[in-house]
Amino acid sequence: MKTKANMQMTESVKSVQKAESRAQNKNGHRAFVRAAALLMVLVMLTGFSACGEDSSSADGKTLIYGSGDYTAINPALYEHGEINLLLFIGLTAHDADNNIVPAASESWTYDEDSCTYTFTLRDNLTFHDGEPLTADDVKFTIEAIMNPDNGSENASNFEDVESVTVIDDTHVAIKLTAPNVAMLDYLTMGILPEHLLAGKDMTTDDFNRNPVGAGPYKLAEWDFGQSIMLEKFDDFYLGTPKIDKIIFKIVPDNDVRAMQLKSGELDFAQITPKAAVEFEDLDGFALYKMDTADYRGIMYNFNSEFFKKHRELPNILSYAIDRQAIVDSVLLGCGTPAYSPLQKGPYNNPDIEKFEYNPEKAKELLEAAGWSMEADGYYYKDGEQLAFVINNGQGDQVRIDMSNICAQNLREIGVNATVKVNAETDWANQDAYLIGWGSPFDPDDHTYKVFGTDKGANYSSYSNARIDEILSEAREKATFEERLPLYQEFQEEMTKDMPYTFIAYIDAIYVGKDNITGITEDTVLGHHGVGIFHNIYEWDLAE
């Protein structure tokens, strides 16, 4: 069989032969033309050989992944970064079943009387620059997260840390003010190199564009806004990764990712359910529909004048959203209607009010709260129209489609809801946002810091004194039996004072070339499908 490259090369040789023939009668030029012809053929042969080269040939095995954009990479400051799993390691890690396993630490003990974890680090751990990773780096990282000057999104996770004590290079003690069984989950956070960041302003330092960790891959090149090239780290504690290079190609738009998968520009990417349909029976590709704890909802900003004044609205408007229609039409069935931030785990309370679709009830409750329908078909109260914008970030078509259906549902009951897509998110100066959260780990994760008053990821300025009390108490209980009634009460209390209108849990859909091996398809993923790379060092590209 002739490949496209073979046929193009044949045509090029024929063209050279024709050129040589035309030059036959031109004395003095024949030798020159023949030499030029031979040179051209050699160039063509070399070029086509390179173009037809497999991703696992000359420069080793390379995987090109369709990624969102990054402006900074630092696990101590920013939670949302799947690239962190490749560049950094924590004291602990999650396995394929999301259980806690040793990572930088080979073991640990816990003293109940003093609420102290003592970790023993592995011998001979090194950062990508060859410097040793020691207990001093662990202490530095945790204290950097806790430093309010750094504004870490993860600071709330470490509120219970009273002190971090370096015993020696391979032993570190973390003392808590109270028990917190979620701490082992939070210590999966990537460890930073003190020798590169000590005494510097972590929020502005060049490290955030040149990260150095101890993960299975190290940064080779960052072409901002275009791509991030990673190379395998031969000294990774679990062994040298099998894939030599992984390129995070910046393709924020999920639909564009689908096109680039087909064109061969990408090897692996997360795409939308609608785009996934095209890959279901397409030769050369494997489709992964993976369960997640990742939900979407309308986040109401209680710092805005409108929702600060009308706290009754989130509960009422939650009856106006047709969640099943969104799952069916936007997610094509790849998801489930949402009613709670803990719905996908063992702490779910299935008996709470679920705000099932009931537009007539929503209108009745609006009128009972003093809103009146006027001639334009919208509700008003004290001369103010019931109107707000559901904001979205760019590139996530699923959220935009969800927002448009929500806005349509709301307009049908008399709410002048519109949708806006923004290049940047202004959390303080907006009425609502199509938010996403969710964690498959400890129930404290993505609850305490998201719904607790003034916590690091509480972008809605939500504040509920009883919920603050419940979440604080729940993180201090040691057993499932003690925590279950508290988290069930938390969900019940939330239904009385909704921070969000919960919409749907979404499946994470990944598509990759069918020669990629090592993906654990049954792993329940987190927000944005993060967790897919938990065992990236085991992935391979079959010949």
pLDDT surpasses 60 at 20: no
| CA 222 to chain CA centroid, nearest Å | 19
The pLDDT assigned to 48 comes to 35
Rounded Cα–Cα distance for residues 59 and 365 (Å): 65
pLDDT for the residue 3? 34
Specify the pLDDT at position 459. 94
Task: Tell me phi and psi for residue 46, to 5 degrees.
Answer: -65, -45
Region 463-490: mean pLDDT is 96
pLDDT digit string (tens) for 21-43?
333 333 444 443 344 444 443 33
For residues 96 and 80, what is the distance between their CA atoms, to the nearest angstrom?
Answer: 20
In angstroms, rounded to a whole number, what is the distance separating the alpha carbons of residues 223 and 206? 15
Chain centre distance of CA 175: 30
**Global pTM value:** 0.84
> CA quadruple 211, 217, 223, 224: dihedral positive or negative?
negative
Q: Which residues contact 338 (CB under 8 A, 6 or more apart)?
A: 295, 296, 297, 323, 502, 503, 504, 505
Percent of the chain topping pLDDT 90: 84
- Taking only the tens place, the pLDDT of each residue in 359-418 is 999 999 999 999 999 999 999 999 999 999 999 998 899 999 999 999 999 999 999 999
Q: Burial letters for 12-27: b for 16+ Cβ neighbours within 10 Å, e otherwise? A: beeebeeeeeebeeee
- At 41-87, the pLDDT tens digits run 333 333 433 333 445 455 799 999 999 999 999 999 987 789 999 99
Q: For residue 11, name the pLDDT band (cuts at 50, 70, 90).
A: very low
pLDDT at residue 58, rounded to an integer = 58
CB atoms within 10 A of CB 540: 16
- The residue ranges of every structural domain in the chain are 4-51, 71-207, 216-291+509-541, 295-506
Position 136, amino acid: D
What amino acid occupies position 418?
T
Residue with tokens 């504004």: 151
Q: Which region among 38-47, 192-201, 227-236 has the lowest average model confidence (pLDDT)?
A: 38-47
- Give the model confidence (pLDDT) of 331-364 as tens digits: 999 999 999 999 999 999 999 999 999 999 999 9
Contacts of 224 (CB under 8 A, 6+ apart): 209
Of 7-21, 88-102, 177-191, 379-393, least confident by mean pLDDT is 7-21
Mean pLDDT across the chain: 90
Fold of 71-207: Dipeptide-binding Protein; domain 1 (3.90.76)
Cα torsion 183, 184, 185, 187: sign: positive
What tens digit of pLDDT does each residue of 269-318 get? 999 999 999 999 899 999 999 999 999 999 999 999 999 999 999 999 99
**Residue 407 has what pLDDT?**
98
- The answer to whether residues 259 and 401 touch, using CB atoms and an 8 Å cutoff, is no
Query: What pLDDT, on a 0 to 100 scale, did the predictor assign at position 278?
Result: 93
Tokens matching residue 543: 């010949």
540: helix, strand or coil: strand
Q: Are 337 and 323 in contact (CB under 8 A)?
A: yes
Q: How far is CA 31 from the centre of its chain?
A: 62
What average pLDDT does the segment 316-322 reach? 98
- One of 3.10.105.10, 1.10.3720.10, 3.10.20.310, 3.30.1360.20 is the CATH number of 295-506, namely 3.10.105.10
Radius of gyration for the alpha carbons in the chain, expressed in angstroms and rounded: 28
pLDDT at residue 79 in the model: 78
Q: Looking at the predicted structure, is the pLDDT value of residue 12 above 60?
A: no
φ, ψ for residue 275, nearest 5 deg: -70, -30
Q: How many CA atoms lie within 13 A of 477 on its CB side?
A: 18
- The CATH code of the domain at 216-291+509-541 is 3.40.190.10
Q: Which residues pair with 49 in a beta bridge?
A: none
**182 DSSP assignment:** T
pLDDT digits (tens, 9 = 90+) for 151-171: 998 899 999 999 999 999 999
The 10s digit of each residue's pLDDT in 214-227 is 999 999 999 999 99
* The token pair that represents 423 in the structure block: 């290049």
Tell me the pLDDT tens digit for each residue of 109-155.
Answer: 999 999 999 999 999 999 999 999 999 999 999 999 999 999 998 89
Q: Which band of pLDDT confidence, cut at 50, 70 and 90, is reported for residue 537?
A: very high
